[in-house]
A and B are shown apart, each in its own frame.
Chain A
């Protein structure tokens, strides 16, 4: 798959690790540098975790040869994740002003 060394699922979980690290880092940065409350950060965190879970589900479904499951994952997991992340982001942004 990737450079003929790693399988798709290995690359996926490496990228998920990178995304998780960036998300956690971003949340800590927000907390340390801006007056953002924990409840806003929690909503944002839940949204980010849901989006990461959606990416994991959708890419895995495509890799196992079940694209319909991937499409449904976008609707059922990714979209709610996007809504929650937007909500959390807006709450955090208001507190940063």
Chain B
């Protein structure tokens, strides 16, 4: 609609009172919104445990668990069973993998060596704890507390001190939760000796579990599945043992019992959920708020229970996983569930030894998954690479994740498609290997 000459003549020039008021209201709203956001950022930076929007805190475990749920026996994990099958089939001369073309990017000699190095360091220090082998090296049960138990002035102080120390020692995320029999193994199987240790053999009655998450390198995992991406996993395991070992020693130095562990002693993912580090996902892996599924987990069991315990937190991962399915699409062995909703029981094909029924979750086929590791000569991790929650630590992804949490379900399908269009989550991408090694925009002397 065009203005008449009369109206044009009468139109006020400059800010009217009403206009000024509108500007004032708009500016005030923006300032308040900015202040609210910065308050959340400040809270996160200082470690203050305020559940900032859109994170929801839960007093109990956030997923339903059946009353007849049974503890998992570590002997049933697929690593042990796979080893046993191979030993039965091949004996000691079992092949370590199939023939891999060592001239292709991602599998060259230096790339295999880069992957093997942290695994060697890890095995020298904590044996096969990744296969739930208990009581190894830094994860040993024989270390004793030193002196009289130190008493903290408050539970909050105890939690803050332990978390700060864990961060200093190298943990990226830390949470503290109560010991929960549901997540502890019913027995601790040593697949090398065939021995089963029980909780009666454990040196003390644990009361708390400190859970730590360690970020894996984004560029490295983008090159999956190759030796380059597997190296990120290996580095995670090597970091876990040193940090968890130091934290356990720190607690023992304060006169309390503590034992560090990796995959042994108990199920890391539900403990991490209870400790508020993240949510369960279609992959069966933990999805954290900051790093998505790109983490490894270590734990420290202690008899110190004077903590302000963390609460479990959810931020919309389950709802997103129901519609996304990028991981199950990308999985080369088709080991991940394609059911829309999580279930209590084992999926189609029936119960297998590695399933842990009685918890509402998506059940993966660990055998298919593990077989593909052998077939590809890697630790795969395409599910992690393809997950829309796996992003570099940049502001725009944090913004999108916040939006994801508040958006209704149908829009998640759109977000998944946009994630593909925007070029994120590609797997079997040979260019990603070149990008990992490219010296472009990298100055190793610290100038950039």
Interface residues of A (CB under 8 A from B): 1, 4, 7, 9, 28, 31-35, 37-38, 56-57, 60-61, 63-69, 72-73, 76, 94-95
Decide if B422 touches A56 in the complex (CB within 8 Å): no
Decide if A31 touches B15 in the complex (CB within 8 Å): yes
Contact of A68 with B392 at beta-carbon distance under 8 Å, contacts A31-B15, A38-B22, A95-B3 already known: no
> How far, in angstroms, from A23 to B424 measured CA to CA in the complex?
32
Decide if B422 touches A68 in the complex (CB within 8 Å): yes
Decide if B394 touches A64 in the complex (CB within 8 Å): yes
Decide if A60 touches B396 in the complex (CB within 8 Å): yes
In the complex formed, the residue of A with least CB distance to B393 is A64
Check: B13 CB closer than 8 A to any chain A CB: yes
Q: Please report whether the interface of chain B is mostly helix, strand, loop or mixed according to DSSP.
A: loop
Contact of A33 with B396 at beta-carbon distance under 8 Å, contacts A66-B424, A72-B423, A95-B3 already known: no
Contact of A34 with B435 at beta-carbon distance under 8 Å, contacts A61-B396, A94-B2, A95-B3 already known: no
Decide if B423 touches A66 in the complex (CB within 8 Å): yes
Mark interface residues in B5-30 (1 if CB within 8 Å of A CB, else 0): 00010011111000100110000000
Given A9-B394, A35-B3, A60-B394; 10 other pairs, CB 8 A cutoff: A1-B448, A31-B14, A31-B19, A35-B8, A35-B11, A60-B395, A64-B394, A66-B392, A66-B422, A95-B3
Considering only residues 346-378 of chain B, those with a C-beta below 8 Å from chain A are none
> How far, in angstroms, from A72 to B396 measured CA to CA in the complex?
14
Decide if B13 touches A33 in the complex (CB within 8 Å): yes
- Of the candidates B2, B12, B392, B418, the one whose C-beta lies within 8 Å of that of A64 is B392
Interface residues of B (CB under 8 A from A): 2-3, 8, 11-15, 19, 22-23, 219, 392, 394-396, 418, 421-424, 435, 441, 447-448
> How far, in angstroms, from A61 to B392 measured CA to CA in the complex?
10
* Chain A residues with CB under 8 A of B396: 56-57, 60-61
Contact of A72 with B422 at beta-carbon distance under 8 Å, contacts A4-B447, A64-B392, A65-B435 already known: yes
* Chain A residues with CB under 8 A of B15: 28, 31-32
Contact of A35 with B12 at beta-carbon distance under 8 Å, contacts A60-B395, A60-B396, A64-B394 already known: yes
Contact of A69 with B423 at beta-carbon distance under 8 Å, contacts A34-B13, A35-B8, A35-B11 already known: yes
**Separation in Å of the B424 CB from the closest CB of chain A?**
7
**Separation in Å of the A61 CB from the closest CB of chain B?**
7
Would you list 6 pairs from A and B whose C-beta atoms are within 8 A, ordered by A residue? A31-B14, A31-B15, A33-B14, A69-B422, A69-B424, A72-B422
